[in-house]
């Protein structure tokens, strides 16, 4: 689901908006629909993808100095993994 929202959706959203516009225009009786602007749709999708990646890089994740601790099984229960400072227990996130 994460890949869909972070990669696929920003790439196809401009095309979906355009198709919605075409359907709306036809429903209102437009007789001439302009040719599909593939270059503009691709550029808008690429721009949205870049904005999404920049936002994830700047707003999400852990700092580079933190260490990832994978999940473990302790006494039959799963202890969640997460990021922590070097040498400390994971935070569970």
Grade residue 8 by pLDDT with cuts at 50, 70 and 90: confident
Q: Write out the two tokens for 71.
A: 């999940």
Q: Are the beta carbons of 60 and 66 closer than 8 angstroms?
A: no
Q: Could you tell me the maximum CA-CA distance found in the chain, to the nearest angstrom?
A: 70
- Report the predicted TM-score, pTM, of the whole model to 2 decimal places: 0.49
Q: What is the pLDDT of residues 63-82, one digit of tens each?
A: 778 888 899 999 999 999 88
Q: Domain coordinates of the chain in residue numbers?
A: 2-84
CA distance 24 to 16: 12
């Amino acid at each position: 689901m994460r890949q869909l929202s972070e990669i696929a959706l920003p790439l196809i959203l401009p095309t979906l908006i355009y198709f919605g516009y075409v359907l709306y225009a036809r429903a209102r009786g437009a007789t001439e629909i302009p040719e599909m602007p593939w270059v503009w749709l691709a550029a808008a999708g690429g721009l949205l993808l870049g904005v999404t990646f920049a936002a994830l890089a700047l707003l999400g994740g852990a700092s580079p100095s933190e260490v990832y601790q994978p999940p473990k099984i302790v006494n039959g229960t799963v202890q969640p993994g997460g990021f922590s400072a070097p040498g400390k227990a994971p935070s569970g996130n």
